[in-house]
Amino acid sequence: MLGGKNILLGITGGIAAYKTTFLVRLLIKAGANVKVILTESASSFVSPLTLATLSKNPVLSSFVKEENDTIDWNNHVELGLWADIMIIAPATANTLSKMANGTCDNLLLATYLSAKCPVFFAPAMDLDMYKHPSTKNSFEKLESFGNKMIAATSGELASGLHGEGRMAEPEDIVDFVKQFLSDGFPLSRKKVLITAGPTYEAIDPVRFVGNHSSGLMGYELAKEAARLGAKVVLVSGPSHLKIEDDLVTTLRVMSADEMYDAVHAHYETADIAICAAAVADYRPKIVADQKIKKSSDDLSIELIKNKDILLSLGKVKKNQFLVGFALETENELENAKGKLKKKNLDAIVLNSLNDLGAGFGKQTNKITFIDKNSTIKAFDLKSKAAVAVDILEEIISRINA
Ligand code: CTP
């Protein structure tokens, strides 16, 4: 969400300024480009050198820049245009009042007036200052300009008093900005639960029953759901794939039983669940404690049925939009429709093994999307990333209908 975004952080003179070092770290970790402007009094609370090191950019505090015997100026208009987002944290009562009234007596304020991007401010002050009608007036005025207030929280204040006025924690400031950015995305505020990959069912400590699923289809679905603004829980069987995205939480499991538990722990709060995992239908009845020795000429392993995770989700389904996959070799449409009904699904994605380029271990897939009203839509052979786009488009059009 914040990757590649240009973020201008304005720091004003309050004790909460010391927390901005963490804020800069979080923004950089999220992939943002960060420039910091300090007011003169802010530099008494937090070191410009620390902020320059963390942000990987020079810290700016005055209009005039003196370097190697030359005098130049820090261009507030350019800074304002550079920023995709401006955050003022901590925002003191003094700076808020100046912002609300168009005062422009330092670089931070001049840049604020020049900025065309969304501006967020996180007030921090003592409780009586926070409650004062003139401060409230500043909040209201700034919000009427379209600036977003990240409200202070209650707690112990630097004065020793208890009350409202503590700056929001850096993590909460980052979450607030991310939420703002994701609003307007088709899956913002939605939780999507996805299963992916194979499951490995232990025979003994070193061997297992498994399959060749790479997990790619499920991982592409997770990436696409996050790109559309969803919070994603990806429950993955063994796979070498990984996703670096703040919106995706990957829970790694080994067996079908572990996948069942992880999926059920997240299902109730999910809005959409997509089971793309190739779950082993059977597991060894007895798992040997020690490695099985090759003592006899033949060896039989008795298998028992695993729980059907998708079926179990269909049974307890409330408002979730539940999607399954079906890999078929014959009577494809009829079999897929049968599974959709039996497992109480809202839709099923059919892969036919008869289609060249579709299925396990391939980079491409060819699917037919079938919903519970028997609307059938067949797609061309595409990369699994493009298939993920199609599947989520179909789902979104139905949850919004
Ligand atoms: N599935 C599951 N748990 C299982 C088996 C399957 O959640 N123990 C899910 C898969 O993730 C997929 C769907 O069920 O979304 C269909 O799986 P598939 O193996 O094709 O169908 P089955 O119902 O197992 O029937 P069969 O193997 O007999 O075709």
* Residue 271: pLDDT over 70: yes
Q: Is 347 left (phi over 0), alpha (psi -120 to 50) or beta?
A: beta
Distance 308 CA to ligand 1 centre (A): 7
Q: Whose CA is nearest to atom 24 of ligand 1?
A: 281
275 lines ligand 1 (CB under 6 A): yes
Q: How confident is the model at residue 245 (pLDDT cuts 50, 70, 90)?
A: confident
* Residue 356: pLDDT over 90: no
- Give the containing element (helix H, strand E) for 352: strand 347-352
**CA-based end-to-end distance of the chain:** 27
Please report how many Cα atoms fall inside a 13 Å half-sphere around the Cα of residue 43, on the Cβ side: 13
Q: Evaluate whether 240 touches 325 at the Cβ level (below 8 Å).
A: no
Question: Hey, what CATH topology would domain 6-182 get?
Answer: Rossmann fold (3.40.50)
Query: pLDDT (tens digit, 9 = 90+) per residue, 29-64?
Result: 999 999 999 999 999 999 999 999 999 999 998 887
* Distance of alpha carbon 40 from alpha carbon 45, whole angstroms: 10
267 lines ligand 1 (CB under 6 A): no
277-284: average pLDDT: 97
Can you name the residues that pair with 209 across neighbouring β-strands? 201
281 lines ligand 1 (CB under 6 A): yes
Q: Which residues of 383-400 are buried (b: 16+ CB within 10 A; e: fewer)?
A: ebbbbbbbbbebbbebee
Distance 372 CA to ligand 1 centre (A): 17
Distance 349 CA to ligand 1 centre (A): 12
Ligand 1 site-directed mutation target among 260, 308, 360, 369, most atoms within 8 Å of CB? 308
Q: Are strands 282-284 and 231-236 parallel, antiparallel or unpaired?
A: unpaired
Dihedral (CA of 259, 262, 268, 270) sign:
negative
> Which residues carry out catalysis?
211
Distance 389 CA to ligand 1 centre (A): 22
Residue 14 to residues 167, 275, 396, Cα–Cα distance (Å) = 10, 50, 45
- Other beta carbons within 10 angstroms of residue 62's beta carbon come to 14
Q: 374 burial class (0-12, 13-18, 19+ CB within 10 angstroms)? A: exposed
Q: Which residues of 19-48 are buried (b: 16+ CB within 10 A; e: fewer)?
A: bbbebbebbbebebbbbbbbbebbbebbeb
Q: How confident is the model at residue 363 (pLDDT cuts 50, 70, 90)?
A: confident
Distance 219 CA to ligand 1 centre (A): 18
Query: pLDDT (tens digit, 9 = 90+) per residue, 169-179?
Result: 999 999 999 98
* Residue 211: pLDDT over 90: yes
Ligand 1 site-directed mutation target among 310, 316, 348, most atoms within 8 Å of CB? 310
338-362: average pLDDT: 86
Angle between helix 20-29 and 48-55 (nearest 10): 10
Dihedral (CA of 171, 174, 180, 184) sign:
negative
Domain with CATH 3.40.50.10300 in the chain: 191-289+297-399
**Shortest CA distance to 51 belongs to which of 79, 73, 70, 23?**
23
What is residue 68's predicted lDDT score, i.e. its pLDDT? Answer: 67
Q: Evaluate whether 65 touches 86 at the Cβ level (below 8 Å).
A: no
139 lines ligand 1 (CB under 6 A): no
- The atom of ligand 1 lying closest to the CA of 342 is 23
* Candidate CATH numbers 3.40.50.10300, 1.20.1530.20, 3.40.50.720, 1.10.8.640; the one for domain 191-289+297-399: 3.40.50.10300
Residue 287 to residues 200, 203, 206, 283, Cα–Cα distance (Å) = 12, 5, 11, 9
* Distance of alpha carbon 46 from alpha carbon 110, whole angstroms: 21
Work out the mean pLDDT of the chain and round it to a whole number.
94
Domain with CATH 3.40.50.1950 in the chain: 6-182
327 lines ligand 1 (CB under 6 A): yes
What is residue 359's predicted lDDT score, i.e. its pLDDT? Answer: 66
* Distance of alpha carbon 227 from alpha carbon 247, whole angstroms: 9
277 lines ligand 1 (CB under 6 A): yes
Q: Evaluate whether 209 touches 201 at the Cβ level (below 8 Å).
A: yes
Q: What is the DSSP letter of 108?
A: H
283 lines ligand 1 (CB under 6 A): no
347 lines ligand 1 (CB under 6 A): no
Query: pLDDT (tens digit, 9 = 90+) per residue, 121-152?
Result: 999 999 999 999 999 999 999 999 999 999 99
Q: How confident is the model at residue 72 (pLDDT cuts 50, 70, 90)?
A: confident
